[in-house]
Chains A and B, each alone.
Chain A
Amino acid sequence: MTELRYLAPTSLDEAIGAFAAAGSAARILAGGTDLLVQMRSGVLKPGVIVDIKKIPEMTTIEQAADGSFRIGAAVSGMALHDHENFGKVWPGVLEAVNLIGSKQVQGRASAGGNLCNGSPAGDSVPAMVAAGAVVTVQGPNGRRELKVEDVPAGPGRTNLKPGEILVSIKLPPRPPGSSDAYLRMIPRTEMDIAVVGVGVSLTIKDGTVTAARVGLGAVAPTVLLVEDAAKALIGSKLDDAALAKAAAACSAACRPIDDKRGTIAYRTKVAGVLLKRTAAIAAKRATQKN
């Protein structure tokens, strides 16, 4: 890897110029917790590394006057955890991000990197899908926005065009009575890769669900937005019938693989079970805040 070049631009334009110029040989370095492992194992041999952490827009968390958050693509899980307000507004997104690896990994790894890594089992992604997150990407042809669920294209692949860089993730303003939660199933108690991951975001008014989104991970080539599960919850009081219908919708959405972590039948069943548990946590949080 002696031919590797390391660049640490201080502006986004500079980063995009360098990244696009290097073509397919270039890799973006945010936390590096996936990239360095891939380089070490020989899976990846980049010619150019573009470190984006010297670009202020990539490393800051901003809360706008309307309550929405903009998270730079390279903001670490620890930085998000330490933000005074983020975990109060988006406890589900925060708990999902903070499940990625150890404290050492948390000090570096970012939600942006977790998303761009393209793993179907990335923990932050179902929570961000449930949150209705929108990402900003920028490339040689300018800026555009994508819904977070439209970013992954398959295992290890994204829908970013050549030369495009993920800049930030925006989470929308929260109406009163809103909260979220994320749960995953893993064979161990901690520090493992999800067999199923479920993110649920709810808005509840007078005991009735007025808005819901459900993100489902590790059961298909990409993280899924399960609209049928959300529809089953909206208008309900989270009664058993509505939860059963939403759970069935999650199971129906599964197109999982069989592997050492879980069989197709197991993942499909657990997706429904986790939906019920995650919705209960989100609902508790949403109503506590009223």
Chain B
Amino acid sequence: MAKVHVTTSINGEPMEFLCEPSDTMLDALRGTLNLTGSKEGCASGDCGACSITLDGSLVCSCLMLAVEAEGHEIGTIEGMANGDKLHPLQQKFLEMAALQCGICTSGMLVASDALLKRNPKPSEEEVRFWLAGNLCRCTGYDKIVRAVMETAADMRAQ
């Protein structure tokens, strides 16, 4: 079976790749494209470690076929920092120790960024609901939630 040619955009850059029709977007990112920041936790859409954006909308890349990227815009954790300058969420996660093992972190950051783009002033409850699809077995979530809240406050102040 011939591979499928996909033309897409990843983190604002035009991108082409070949994939099997059954490959998930996560397979394509981590394999062919060598963008290994998105992690595979459960591969069933429960853990959120593979979170990306599809035309700005937060999705699990394990629940999306790679061929579906054709003509769409994909955003991954690799596109979050501006060169060497970390995104405010990334900086705050470091400062507040909102990570331990790091497997959930890129998904947490991509999901938190998607939230703050929609809602620059979320309540704690809104942050917790929004991140309910991102599982973390290390932190107990509290530092993550506080880091998102503080980043939101900092970004509003700027």
Contact = CB atoms under 8 A, between A and B. Distances in A.
A163 to B, nearest CB: 21
Contacts of B133: 101-105, 191
A241 B58 CA distance: 46
Nearest to A39: B22
A191 B132 contact: yes
Nearest to B51: A104
Contact of A104 (B1, B22, B58, B70): B58
Interface residues of A, number: 30
Interface stretch (B29-37, B40-48, B76-84): B40-48
Main secondary structure of the interface of B (DSSP, over half): mixed
Nearest to A32: B63
B130 to A, nearest CB: 6
B148 interface: no
Interface string B30-73: 00000000000001111010010010011110111101101000
Interface residues of B, number: 32
A39 B46 CA distance: 16
B32 to A, nearest CB: 16
A107 interface: yes
Contact of A51 (B1, B57, B68): B68
A239 interface: no
A108 interface: yes
A107 B44 contact: no
Contacts of A41: 44
Contacts of B45: 33, 36-37, 101-102, 104-105
A29 B22 contact: no
Given A104-B51, A190-B132, A36 B64 contact: yes
Interface in A11-68: 29, 31-33, 36-37, 39-41, 49, 51, 53
22 contacts: A2-B20, A3-B1, A4-B20, A6-B21, A6-B67, A8-B67, A8-B68, A36-B45, A36-B63, A37-B44, A41-B44, A51-B65, A78-B57, A101-B45, A103-B115, A103-B129, A104-B48, A104-B133, A105-B45, A107-B59, A190-B129, A190-B132
Interface of A: 1-6, 8, 29, 31-33, 36-37, 39-41, 49, 51, 53, 76, 78, 101-105, 107-108, 190-191
Interface of B: 1, 4, 20-22, 24, 43-46, 48, 51, 54, 57-60, 62-65, 67-68, 70, 111, 114-115, 129-130, 132-134
